[in-house]
Amino acid sequence: MYRLTCDNGGLPQEYSLPIGYILRDLLGYAKTLKETKKYLIANSILIGQKRCLSLRHSVSFLETIRINKETYKIRIYKKNKSSIYPVVAGETLSPVLSKTRISPTQYQLNGLGGRNYLINSQLVKQIEIGSTVIKKENQDLIVVQLIEDSRVFVIAGKNMGKEMIYKGFSKNQYILSPILGLEELVRYNERDFFPITGKIISLK
């Protein structure tokens, strides 16, 4: 079985999988690359809002995959171990890495994976680096900010791909706790995770 690799995308390769691998190995829609290519061409497959026609198209854990009427996301745990799960509606998560002034009235939120969002300058002071922009189909953009007991998604370390709970800040590091079980608290840096729930700011 041939190994598939991703086209260059906006994220490091450890955060992404090629669509061909997802169709063949995770979903089992084909057994060979030739069969996978035929399936890709014959079906309407969208990554976010874009039609996908290449087996090597890069799909990150931030993006939705729509195959006909079903919508999925991938979850990457560690190298050579990943899974896929269905989601109810299309949703894009973009952790905020920086803010750029565009004009006196507009700023740009620069998100992980090359996603950028224009916002009003009156809102920019409320949005912290490390927050998450959430875009759902046919809904206004919202920003989720980290607060105590926020649910977060981990993108580095031994817990990469897991959801955990934010418990506080100590000794220049963020303390995360497992959602279930009695495992010990884990310390992380700011860019090793992003919030999924927390304080919500509307960007309408």
At 51, which CATH number?
A: 3.10.290.10
- Residue 119: inside a domain: no
**For 65-88, what is each residue's pLDDT tens digit?**
888 888 888 877 655 567 776 776
Within a domain: residue 186?
Answer: no
Cα-Cα-Cα-Cα dihedral of 54, 59, 63, 65, to 10°? 50
Domain that holds residue 32: 13-86
Cα distance between residue 90 and residue 71, in whole Å: 7
Tracing tokens 């999925």 back to the chain, one arrives at 72
Answer whether residue 133 is part of any domain.
Answer: no
Total of domains in the chain = 1
Give 1's pLDDT tier (boundaries 50, 70, 90): very low
The CA-atom distances, in angstroms, between 104 and each of 107, 110, 148 are 8, 17, 33
Asked whether the predicted pLDDT for residue 15 surpasses 80, the reply is no
pTM reported for the whole predicted model: 0.67
- Let me know if residue 62 belongs to a domain: yes
145 assigned to some structural domain: no
DSSP letter, residue 7? P
- Does 51 reside within a domain? yes
* Cα four-point dihedral sign 117, 113, 51, 90: negative
